[in-house]
Copies of this chain bind each other. A is one copy, B any other.
Amino acid sequence: MAPPLIDSEVHGHLWGTDELRAVFAERAKLQGWLDVLVALGDAQAELGIIPAAAAKAMAAEAHIDALDLDLIAAETRRTSHSTLGLIVALQHQLPEDAREWVYYGATVQDITDTWTATAIRTVCGILWRDLRLIEARLLELAQDHRDTVVAGRTHGQTGSPTSFGLKAAGWADEIRRHLDRLREGAPRWIVGQLAGSVGNLAFYDDLGLELRARFCARLGLADPLVSWTSSRDRVAEFGALLALVTATLAKIGTEVYQLARPEIDELQEPAPAGTVGSITMPHKRNPEASEHLATLARLVRSSASVLVEGMVAEHERDGRGWKAEWVALPDACLLTGAALSFALTLVKGLEVHVDTMRDNLGPYSGSERALTLLAPRLGKHRAQQLLQEAMGAGRERRLTLVEALRAADLLDPALEQALATPYAGTAGEMVDAVVRRGHAAREHEPERWPS
């Protein structure tokens, strides 16, 4: 069967990374399920629930490449059972006396949810790594451009000056909060599942809790206090984080997209050699990656919402929400992976046009500064009104702010001097604070996600 878009040979790089496809690809997932089965068998053998030889045989044979994928597919369809195809195929490889001990007392969610937790762990590792790489670069940008003056823009209109470094610091600040969310939330997500048929491990008699503890420990997962077969807040919260993370990346991308307009031309995304912007309009250079970050965030947000909807589950297992996770969670992870990768390339190679930034400030960007200095003398509201009149008159005669103020008899030497340089307030100190805090946090945390 041919692949859909997210996995396309031609366009797949837009919707995922090889690293994440290696987690969620069908064979990888089936291998993950097998690994969980093996861990279960080993823990069961340890407790004497199944013969040690059976566990050993399973461990030896549980390799997806050795199993008959056609058989798995055929049995899955014949039985309409999510894991029975895999079980049957594994049994085919086993000696007669081991066969009975495969999947002993387990149910579908024990295998699939536990695998999900391991997959989430891997994604957490990627998030941690990539968010920190992005943060590092943003802190650099913030520092490098601590005093690079750029027009502050509100409602799409240029206003008072600010610094480009402060923009980057604001981005870094969001990323740092995502790292905090990740660190705090992960213990709720990286949790094994061993519930049995209806959550109480009845199949294992009085060994259930001990078995669960050992099973989870073998896989490096936390032991849940109770089954989460129909407590999907763990997965929903993780999805919500992915939506927040990709929204931040989309925000960065959108800023680049807008400031890369030729009429503004303050930023430009890196264009590797070979990039073709437009075939019919040979002069164009499109902010493809920046734009794409917005696309990815929309899709992830949409998947994340499906995961929250799945929380409203009935009884001890409810396929309606849980099966929706089978699509929504891998999709959200793959798309987030792509977003991280695009964003990293974007911030690494971002071109900052310092001169254009200054040129774009516009003739009246000093108006707030003038207001600050006139207000104590004239009263703020009166100063404001006089300024507005002065600028209105000045604009028609194409005067600069200083000229307009002079024409309106509002200029004094102190004001003139103050307006000679664009004033970005405490932008620099704010940048310093963010950089300091960022570095401090980074020093006290591991570079690699601890798993």
A196 contacts which chain B residues (CB < 8 A)? Answer: 160, 280, 368, 425
Select one of B170, B282, B291 contacting A371, CB under 8 A.
B282
Q: Closest chain B residue to A252 by CB distance?
A: B312
Contacts of A360 in B (CB 8 A): 263
Take A3-B25, A12-B1, A18-B1 as given contacts and tell me if A280 and B107 are in contact as well, using a CB distance cutoff of 8 Å: yes
Question: In which size bucket is the chain A interface?
Answer: 35 or more
Shortest CB-to-CB span from A1 to chain B, Å, is 5
> Min CB distance, A21 to chain B, in Å?
5
Residues in A1-51 with C-beta less than 8 Å from chain B: 1-16, 18, 21-22, 24-28, 30
Residue A120 at the chain B interface, CB threshold 8 Å: no
Q: Is A95 among interface residues, defined by CB-CB distance under 8 A?
A: no
Task: Identify the closest chain B residue to A237 (Cβ).
Answer: B244
| A350 part of interface (Cβ distance < 8 Å) | no
Given A263-B263, A283-B364, A305-B301, CB of A423 within 8 Å of CB of B202? yes
User: How far does the Cβ of A26 sit from chain B's closest Cβ, in whole Å?
Assistant: 5
Additional A-B contact list (14), CB under 8 Å, known A2-B22, A157-B285, A298-B310: A2-B7, A4-B24, A10-B73, A81-B275, A100-B380, A152-B197, A154-B284, A159-B281, A173-B226, A174-B233, A255-B315, A283-B388, A292-B320, A292-B323
DSSP majority for the A interface?
Answer: helix
Contact in complex: A157, B103 (CB < 8 Å): no
- Is A93 interfacial (CB 8 A cutoff)? no
Q: Are A170 and B199 in contact (CB under 8 A)?
A: yes
| A154 and B316 contacting across the interface, CB-CB below 8 Å | yes
Q: Which of these binds chain B: A55-63, A324-332, A442-450? A: A324-332
Contact partner, A154, options B101, B251, B286, B387, Cβ 8 Å: B286
CB neighbors of B among A215-245 (8 A): 225-227, 230-231, 233-234, 236-237, 240, 243-244
Verify if A105 is at the interface (C-beta below 8 Å from B).
yes
Contacting residues, chain B, for A30 (C-beta < 8 A): 10
Contacting residues, chain B, for A334 (C-beta < 8 A):
4
- A199 and B311 CA atoms in complex are apart in Å by 31
Q: Count the copies.
A: 4
Select from chain B the residue with minimum beta-carbon distance to A107. B280
Jot down 9 A-B pairs with beta carbons below 8 A, ordered by A: A4-B16, A4-B26, A10-B30, A154-B198, A156-B286, A170-B199, A184-B184, A202-B424, A225-B434
**Are A233 and B248 within 8 A (Cβ)?**
yes
Complexed CA–CA distance, A8 and B318 (Å)? 22
Q: Is residue A419 contacting chain B, with contact meaning CB distance below 8 A? A: no
Q: Which of B162, B226, B247, B327 contacts A169 (CB 8 A)?
A: B226
Task: Name the B residues within 8 Å of A114 (CB-CB).
Answer: none
Whether B157 contacts A286 by the Cβ 8 Å rule is: yes
- Whether A84 pairs with B276 at a CB distance below 8 angstroms is yes
How far apart are the CA atoms of A382 and B268 in the complex, in Å?
27
Partner of A200, one of B155, B287, B425, B433: B425
The contact of A382 among B28, B100, B104, B203, by CB within 8 Å, is: B100
